[in-house]
Amino acid sequence: MTKKRKITFILNPKSGTTSKAEVPALIGQIIDKDLFDTEICFTEYRGHAAEIAKQKAEEGVDIVVAVGGDGTVNEVARSLVHTNTALGIVPCGSGNGLARHLCVPMDIKKAIGMINSCKIDSFDYGVINGMPFFCTCGMGFDAFISLKFAEAGKRGPITYVENVLKEGLKYKPETYEVSDDTGAKKYKAFLIACANASQYGNNAYIAPGATMKDGEMDVIIMEPFTALDAPQIAADLFMKTMHNNSKIKTFRTKTLHISRKQPGAIHYDGDPIMTDAEIDVHIEPQGIKILINPEAEEDAGQPNAVLNAFSVFFNNINNVREDIERQGHRIQVINKVLLRKLTKL
């Protein structure tokens, strides 16, 4: 007879957008009792999920399942790194970035049912100034915008992101010195994001080609943009075509050091904290075991050919518009000089 695996579900009653009142009953109905000995724990305060997960890993529990939003998932996951206990996810949040990247069903019943397959694999995770992250981390405008993605919910993500990006026009870009194993470069940027997975959540793909199994992070640098650029950036996020946008610079690396002029906010999986001017980010390869969908391990994150063609077309239009604007500015300057000279005649 096969030995039963021990599995603990950690529920945060206050996180996410979905009511969890029915979840304990669904667990009892759906989880295969011949395969698992099941326990359900409820969190009572911030950080409690991390404490429970750490305790269960020390007790040798085989799987700890985070039932909640991205914050609950991060709390549980960071207590399971470099242990033999696997992370499971039943997504009940508004963003659900890691669950979406790993193709975990958004339907609660299906997500619980997927656990019975018990397929487990190892994945990378990232660390920013000592704080583990599993999807993305970032700074600048990113520390603000990642929270807005998680709040978008059913309010129309593309329109909402457009509005957020327009709010970003009020933010002054910072100058960052970014160093990796190829050397150091200075960038004037609204945000710098480091992606272990492909998206923020809500299918907003900041790094469409990112995978959690390559030992590297995708670094995304968003340069200053205008109100006219905002709709295209928003569309590219949801069409998986950020790589086509002229305002975006990307590269991959295992380690990163970022210097800025003064302390400020950073975020890890959407959770903001204040930190100093020096920021270190690195990837821990294959550092966490995760229970996965047996039918699709990771979201491939590639745009279809039609969406990609549209993105290239509209970004080319934006480039032409920018050239016209620059030429128009030059003409205005020349006109002013000519007018000054004429008034002196």
Q: pLDDT digit string (tens) for 244-283? A: 888 899 999 999 999 999 998 899 998 888 899 999 999 9
Q: Closest Cα partner for 131 from 8, 289, 265?
A: 265
Quote the number of domains for the chain. 2
Which residues, given as ranges, of the chain have pLDDT below 50? 150, 154-155, 303-322, 324-325, 327-328, 331, 333-335, 337-339, 341-343, 345
Q: Give the DSSP per-residue string, 59-120.
A: TT-SEEEEEESHHHHHHHHHTTTTSSPEEEEEE-SS--HHHHHTT--SSHHHHHHHHTT--E
Indicate if 165 and 26 belong to the same structural domain: no
Inside any domain, residue 327: no
Torsion on CA atoms 52, 54, 59, 62, rounded to nearest 10? 90
Please report the pLDDT score of residue 271 as a whole number. 85
The CATH number of whichever domain residue 152 belongs to comes to: 2.60.200.40
Inside any domain, residue 32: yes
Indicate if 315 and 276 belong to the same structural domain: yes
Please report the pLDDT score of residue 167 as a whole number. 62
- Residue 20 per-residue DSSP state: -
The CATH number of whichever domain residue 48 belongs to comes to: 3.40.50.10330
Inside any domain, residue 166: yes
Inside any domain, residue 337: no
Indicate if 236 and 305 belong to the same structural domain: yes
Where among 118, 140, 174 does a domain terminate?
118
CB-side neighbour CA atoms (13 Å) of 17: 13
- Per the listing, tokens 């006109």 go with 335
Inside any domain, residue 311: yes
Please report the pLDDT score of residue 324 as a whole number. 41
Indicate if 214 and 236 belong to the same structural domain: yes
- Spatial neighbors of 201 by CB under 8 A, at least 6 apart, are 70, 93, 94, 95, 96, 97, 100, 135, 149, 150, 270
Indicate if 203 and 316 belong to the same structural domain: yes
Inside any domain, residue 328: no
Q: Closest Cα partner for 267 from 97, 142, 108?
A: 142
Inside any domain, residue 291: no
Cα gap 322→328, rounded to integer Å: 10
Inside any domain, residue 205: yes
Where among 118, 150, 166 does a domain terminate?
118
Q: What is the pTM of this model?
A: 0.80
- Per the listing, tokens 């991959």 go with 252
Please report the pLDDT score of residue 159 as a whole number. 54
Indicate if 143 and 99 belong to the same structural domain: no
Per the structure, the complete domain to which residue 61 belongs is given by 5-118
Cα gap 280→266, rounded to integer Å: 11
> Interior CA angle at 32 toward 29 and 37, to 5°?
100
Structure confidence by residue, pLDDT tens digits, 185-238: 999 998 999 999 998 888 888 899 999 999 999 999 999 887 778 778 878 888
